[in-house]
Copies of this chain bind each other. A is one copy, B any other.
Amino acid sequence: MNEERLERQLAFIMEIDRLKSVLRQTLTDGGRRQENTAEHSWHVATMAVLLAEHAEVPVDAGRVIRMLLVHDIVEVDAGDTFCYDAAANLDKAAREQAAAERLFGLLPPEQGCELRELWEEFEAYRTPDARFANALDRLQAMMLNYHAQGRPWRQHGITSDRVLARNEPIGLGSARLWEHARKLVDDALANGYLDS
């Protein structure tokens, strides 16, 4: 076994420790603090363990789980881009491509390629696995926002039509979960967590 290979893998593992310091707009700990991207990634990967049966078409749950573990690793360099921030989203793709180049480039080449392809598949959401992974990614944020009584939505003046438009792709991954997500929006409106 090549010594350099393990060294590269371990260097990557320490580098991605920094994902624990990237903050998202969603709240956790009963709404007391912002969620970070590492714990978010654990949460959505665990959702894939539990919810794969609800995918619109059969998915490879193992691949979906791996995809979700790595789907936000580029944020180590590129940071989290709030999905409703139009300006920040303009250069998001370029920032994330540069990050992917550097970060996955730390790994042994064939392993770096494999992870990068998984991330690119997630981003393109064309395959059933990627569509389902994206559905879980969006649903998780909606659930946390709902359970924080809609604070992140209200704080940024996000109305229900924008939440519905942003999250409609959930339906491509799972009609069943999209139905649940729409019910969350109805309940959020009824409870005053979200403005219409």
Contacts and interface: CB of A to CB of B under 8 A. Distances in A.
A22 to B, nearest CB: 10
A38 interface: yes
A150 to B, nearest CB: 15
Contacts of A36: 39
- How many copies, total? 2
Interface in A131-159: 140, 143-144, 147
Contact of A39 (B42, B107, B144): B42
Interface in A11-51: 12-14, 16-21, 28-29, 35-36, 38-39, 41-43, 45-47, 49-51
Interface residues of A, number: 43
A69 interface: yes
B28 A49 contact: no
Contact of A16 (B1, B38, B46, B51): B46
A161 to B, nearest CB: 24
A179 to B, nearest CB: 9
Interface of A: 1, 6, 9-10, 12-14, 16-21, 28-29, 35-36, 38-39, 41-43, 45-47, 49-51, 54, 62, 65-66, 69-70, 107, 111, 115, 140, 143-144, 147, 176, 180
